Amino acid sequence: MLRYIGNRLLLLIPVLLGISLVVLVLIDITPGDPARMLLGAQATQQQVDDLREELGLNDPLPVRYVRFIWNVLHGDLGTSLMTKRPIVDEMLQRFPYTLMLVSLSIVLSVLLGIPIGIYASTHQNTWKDNTAMFLALFCVSMPSFWFALLMIRLFGVQLRWLPISGVATWKGWILPCIAMALGLTALIARQMRSDLLEVIRQDYITTARAKGLSEGKVIYRHGLKNAMIPVIMVIGGVFGSSLGGSLIAEVIYSIPGLGQYIMSGLNNRDYPVIQGGILILSTMFAIVILLVDVLFALVDPRIRSQYARKSKGRGKRVGDET
């Protein structure tokens, strides 16, 4: 198991290297000179050239790439062009907010989505199931930024129950978390339902029934654990979309997190911030996907042994008829 995790961590390295390269190339090929952007239209060409030299923009791409990686390895993501502050400091300060927002919404959506999905699938094709699934589709189809604004209008402005922005108190987290969790909950519920229905059709569920187990035990002991495998994968994906969603949610609710920072970087073409931000969010995402895979292996013995077999160099299948 440890070797499996170690191996997966190693695989993370080329992925992150690739991402950095992609980001660097993207910024490189886009029209518009960051130095010019920074100095404004009034600056002389001489000033622009000096700044380019200072920022190292004149070096060829491979040189800049190696330098970037070298700096990242030393915990240095560069300094923001706008604020002149080291990006790492800024990000460390903002990271807890994003982590809080994202994990709260995911916990919320998992806690709600899984029971709803189980309920719907055990009441398949009844009005309860149909209503729950139509509502879920409705929530999946709702733009979350719009829903966020409507909630602010209702609970913040009209009813004055909750703050309309900022997370100075715990109450401030409620609206952003609900706004983010709504679609995710629906997504998880839909996945849970369809997976459980798929599993319930399997032969081993009939076997479990034929053993004399109660329907509840059949579903929870034999069905749910099998059905959770694809759901876990979806939860991993959901983490990614909630990182993406945090870009907008943090702006709307003025949460001083990474999303907001990246958005301001994008608006100002503050390219070290963009680079660093994408790298950090992608790393977070990659680590979560890694955790998901480890969880997978914990639940499913087939994946465990598949890995064990691979590391032994394709051993013969165990248990052949003697």
Q: Please give the residues from 220 up to 279 whose contact with other proteins meets the rule CB under 8 A.
A: 221-222, 225-226, 240-241, 243-245, 247-248, 251, 262-263, 266-267, 269, 274, 278
3-class SS string, 266-321: HHHCCHHHHHHHHHHHHHHHHHHHHHHHHHHHHHCHHHHHHHHHHHHCCCCCCCCC
Number of residues that bind other proteins (CB under 8 A): 78
Residue 47 or 241: which CB sits closer to other proteins? Answer: 241
Task: Report yes or no: 299 and 280 within 8 Å, Cβ to Cβ.
Answer: no
**Contact between 295 and other proteins (CB under 8 A)?**
no
**Contact between 13 and other proteins (CB under 8 A)?**
no
Six token digits for residue 45: 């060409």
Number of neighbours of residue 123 by Cβ within 10 angstroms: 15
User: Using CA atoms, how far apart are residues 218 and 205, in angstroms rounded to an integer?
Assistant: 7
- Give the residue from 170, 169, 181, 176 showing the smallest Cα distance to 151: 176
Residues in 74-133 that interact with other proteins by CB under 8 A: 124-125
Task: Report yes or no: 139 and 183 within 8 Å, Cβ to Cβ.
Answer: yes
Near other proteins by CB under 8 A, which window of 50-58, 71-79, 91-99, 137-145? 137-145
**Contact between 41 and other proteins (CB under 8 A)?**
no
Residue 39 or 140: which CB sits closer to other proteins? Answer: 140
Bridge partners of 79, per DSSP, are: 86
- Look-up: residue for tokens 């839909």? 190
**Contact between 27 and other proteins (CB under 8 A)?**
yes
**Contact between 140 and other proteins (CB under 8 A)?**
yes
Residue 177 or 228: which CB sits closer to other proteins? Answer: 228
Residue 32 or 313: which CB sits closer to other proteins? Answer: 32
User: Using CA atoms, how far apart are residues 138 and 271, in angstroms rounded to an integer?
Assistant: 38
Residue 74 or 317: which CB sits closer to other proteins? Answer: 317
Task: Report yes or no: 198 and 216 within 8 Å, Cβ to Cβ.
Answer: no
Residue 110 or 289: which CB sits closer to other proteins? Answer: 289
The single residue among 65, 95, 145, 307 that binds other proteins, judged by CB under 8 A, is 145
- Give the residue from 193, 185, 191 showing the smallest Cα distance to 108: 185
Six token digits for residue 276: 């660093």
Six token digits for residue 157: 């402005």
Give me the least distance between CB of 3 and other proteins, in Å please: 19
**Contact between 320 and other proteins (CB under 8 A)?**
yes
Residue 167 or 247: which CB sits closer to other proteins? Answer: 247
Write the DSSP symbol of residue 161. Answer: -
The single residue among 40, 60, 75, 212 that binds other proteins, judged by CB under 8 A, is 212
Six token digits for residue 21: 């390269």
The single residue among 36, 64, 123, 209 that binds other proteins, judged by CB under 8 A, is 209
The single residue among 45, 127, 141, 168 that binds other proteins, judged by CB under 8 A, is 141
**Contact between 211 and other proteins (CB under 8 A)?**
yes
**Contact between 40 and other proteins (CB under 8 A)?**
no
